[in-house]
Chain A
Amino acid sequence: MKVEKVVGNVLRYGVLVAGGVIALGLALSFLLPQNTYPPLAGLLEHLLRGEVLNDWPTVPCVTWECLGNPNQVITLGLMLLIGLPILRVALTLVLFIVERDFVYVMISAIVLVVLVTGIWMGKAI
């Protein structure tokens, strides 16, 4: 069946790309500790004591300048990873449209709307 093949491939390559970016970021945080903010060693010291790290904002930022910080490269990879399930639902919607399976077009559309609403609400909080 076509749906399985396309969805399977997108997930496979998506996971490879996201994993690659995360691995790159992690490697860079060891190679370029001076560029890494928050610094790994200092962060762990607080983290292992169970502290909440209010002094170290970790808000994602993917501008070219931000990506000089290996932590933001990791964050970019994580965002790609988190985007995969959403992309997968959108893709299923398109594939059901192509197959003219309108009950499942409706079902996929509802899932996508609820998902986007949840993410949008997350931003509003």
Chain B
Amino acid sequence: MDSLHEWLAQPACFEIVLFTISIVAGTLGAILGLGGGIIVIPTLTLLFGVNIRYAIGASIVSIIATSSGAAATYVKDRITNIRVAMLLEVATSVGALSGAILASYVKAQWLFLLFAAILLYSAFTMWRGNRREGQSPHAEDPLATKLRLHSSYPDAALGGQEVAYRVSNVVLGFVLMLFAGLTSALLGIGSGSLKVPAMDRAMGLPIKVSTATSNFMIGVTGAASAGVFFMEGLILPALAAPVALGVLVGSSIGTKLMVKLPAREIRRAFVVVLLVIAVQMLVKGFT
């Protein structure tokens, strides 16, 4: 371990290793609608031994880079539902702001456990519910019609066929996003892991639309908290630069892969990642 650290302490080695790992984080994040924090944070803290404060600072940069990098492609390919994103961003940003204010009053310990429980439940329902894309199991929501949320997207995995979908449970989705924004501020995580299941399960969006729209949204929540991290000196250029560049490269690879992947595979990969994050949260909650 010591010789590894000696080797990593050489600037060129450190930057190249972090850049390479960030490519993986960006690819995975772009496909699954997550910020890449699940890879960036453990890499920095467990492998490199960096203080968690700087690891979270770097992961915020990773979230914003994944979001903008992936959204550029998904928006152009019409996979992102911009109306759903804008509507739900009201909830996530209000939630995040409340979280930032509450952060010093709330004990994070039990929140990690609650968060883990929600992730396990989401993983369970997403694993079971392998429905056909575009067919919501819920009744149509008249509010969604009024807000013109129903839409369609071209699925490259189905030969570019246009998949139409209807949106349901707008109010429930909105409330879940308030919670997602709140936890992202309280626990310092991107919370794509909550956004995707909420859109996929509660609102009945196709999985590809859910991950692309989550990708679009996480950047806004991230930007809101980045200001605080910047001013407190927690975003270190030496960490943030290779992370940002790696993630930008990775997200452009990820978007190309995602449009071609069958929805089923994306859903399965997402369940696995949910379980990994749940375990991470349980460890944090019990230690």
In the complex, whether B228 has a CB less than 8 A from a CB of chain A is: yes
Interface stretch, picked from B83-91, B109-117, B123-131, B258-266, is B83-91
Interface of chain B: mostly helix, strand, loop or mixed: helix
**Chain A positions within 8 Å of B65 at CB level:** 15, 81
In the complex, whether B50 has a CB less than 8 A from a CB of chain A is: yes
- Nearest chain B CB to A22 CB, angstrom units: 5
A104 contacts B83, CB within 8 Å? Answer: yes
Q: Name the one of B9, B61, B86, B220 contacting A48, with C-beta atoms under 8 angstroms.
A: B9
In the complex, whether B256 has a CB less than 8 A from a CB of chain A is: no
**Chain A positions within 8 Å of B237 at CB level:** 25, 29, 58, 70-72, 74-75, 78
Sort chain B's interface into a size bin.
35 or more
**Chain B positions within 8 Å of A70 at CB level:** 237
- Nearest chain A CB to B226 CB, angstrom units: 5
Which B residues from 139 to 197 make CB contacts under 8 A with A?
147
B68 contacts A84, CB within 8 Å? Answer: yes
Q: What separation, in Å, do the CA atoms of A86 and B64 have in the docked complex? A: 11
B89 contacts A111, CB within 8 Å? Answer: yes
A122 contacts B238, CB within 8 Å? Answer: no
Summed over the interface, the residue pairs from A and B with CB atoms below 8 Å come to a total of 194
In the complex, whether A98 has a CB less than 8 A from a CB of chain B is: no
**Chain A positions within 8 Å of B227 at CB level:** 82, 118-119, 122-123
Q: What separation, in Å, do the CA atoms of A26 and B72 have in the docked complex? A: 24
Q: Name the one of A9, A29, A79, A114 contacting B93, with C-beta atoms under 8 angstroms.
A: A114
- Nearest chain B CB to A89 CB, angstrom units: 6
B75 contacts A7, CB within 8 Å? Answer: yes
In the complex, whether B280 has a CB less than 8 A from a CB of chain A is: no
In the complex, whether A44 has a CB less than 8 A from a CB of chain B is: yes
A15 contacts B90, CB within 8 Å? Answer: no
Q: Tell whether A50 pairs with B244 under 8 Å between CB atoms, given A81-B65, A82-B226, A118-B225.
A: no
In the complex, whether A100 has a CB less than 8 A from a CB of chain B is: no
**Chain B positions within 8 Å of A3 at CB level:** 82
A82 contacts B223, CB within 8 Å? Answer: yes
**A48-80 interface code vs B (CB 8 A; 1 in, 0 out):** 111111000111100000000011101101110
**Chain A positions within 8 Å of B203 at CB level:** none
A4 contacts B224, CB within 8 Å? Answer: no
Which B residues from 43 to 73 make CB contacts under 8 A with A?
48-51, 53-54, 61, 64-65, 67-69, 71-73
Residues of chain A having any CB pair with chain B under 8 Å: 1, 3-5, 7-9, 11-12, 14-15, 18-19, 22-23, 25-26, 29-30, 40-41, 43-45, 47-53, 57-60, 70-72, 74-75, 77-79, 81-86, 88-89, 92, 103-104, 107-108, 110-111, 114-115, 117-119, 121-123, 125
Seed contacts A58-B236, A84-B223; 7 additional CB < 8 Å A-B pairs: A3-B82, A41-B11, A44-B238, A47-B239, A52-B51, A60-B230, A118-B96
The 5 closest A-B pairs by CB, nearest first: A122-B227, A8-B76, A85-B219, A122-B228, A74-B237
